[in-house]
Amino acid sequence: MTKWNLIIDIEKCEDCNNCFLACKDEHVDNEWPGYTESQAPHGHRWINIRRKERGQFPLIDAAYRPTTCMHCDDAPCIAAAEAQAIFKRDDGIVLIDPGKAKGQKKLVKSCPYGVIWWNEKKNVPQKCTLCAHLLDAGWKQPRCVQVCPTGALKIVKAEDNEMRKLVKNQNLEVLFPELETRPRVYYKNLYRFERCFIAGSAVVRRGDVIDCAQGATAILIKKDRIVAEMDTDNFGDFKFDNLEPDSGNYRLEIAYKNKEKKTITIELTKSRSLEDIVLE
């Protein structure tokens, strides 16, 4: 049967927090019997925007990763729950039974993604329900997707084989695949949050004048193998992204017209913004 899946494009998220506010609007002071108790007005972030800054001045990259319940097919919280207090529906949504889960505070720590919250007043663990009460009522999307102004959030209802094709075609990834929980939340452009870049600017000196080296060729090499190659833009900027953190030494070569080629050795631990590369 078809199942619900959430796709999050990190490149499109601008940290507006509309999704967070819509979740609060839907769940604070609202009871949804059979789905969830009302959400605590403070402290809970059923969709939490994580922030990551990469690089150094003046070339800095900021990325935002909306993080919510992963609605895992092999959810650790389901295994940890007593009396089947957490269950997975046939349509892929994982729900916490607000009655059976009373008092089971331990379930907060059962989630390796840290997306289960404890409601002290209600004495119950809570999390994102993917607005299952709305989807069951005929809505086409949950509130977070509805209010996203950039299209960073997208809901897809598809059969598993169809979803596998979509994952492959769009290069989608899951968060922390080593956990083997088989999430139904997929990320696009996750490298913006988890991987590294090498960036810089090439400039050319003409006497006492320094200009941007537009169209210079930048080549990134590792162990005598070309990793990537690109031409600088009209500001002389280049950026090689999607590199593994702590991946060792790289050689950067910059060539521009009749100027002497520059070669720089870079040890990559985290994202690097290089000083201006002057071509004499």
Domains and CATH numbers, the chain: 3-193 (3.30.70.20), 196-279 (2.60.40.10)
pLDDT digits (tens, 9 = 90+) for 163-222: 999 999 999 999 999 999 999 999 999 999 999 999 999 999 888 888 999 999 999 999
pLDDT tens for 30-82 read 999 999 999 999 999 999 999 999 999 888 999 999 999 999 999 999 999 99
Rounded to an integer, what distance in angstroms lies between the CA atom of residue 39 and that of residue 117? 10
β-sheet bridge partners, residue 272: 198
Phi-psi region of 40 (alpha: psi -120 to 50; beta: other; left: phi over 0): beta
pLDDT of residue 192: 96
Cα 133 to Cα 31, 139, 268, distances in angstroms: 11, 9, 47
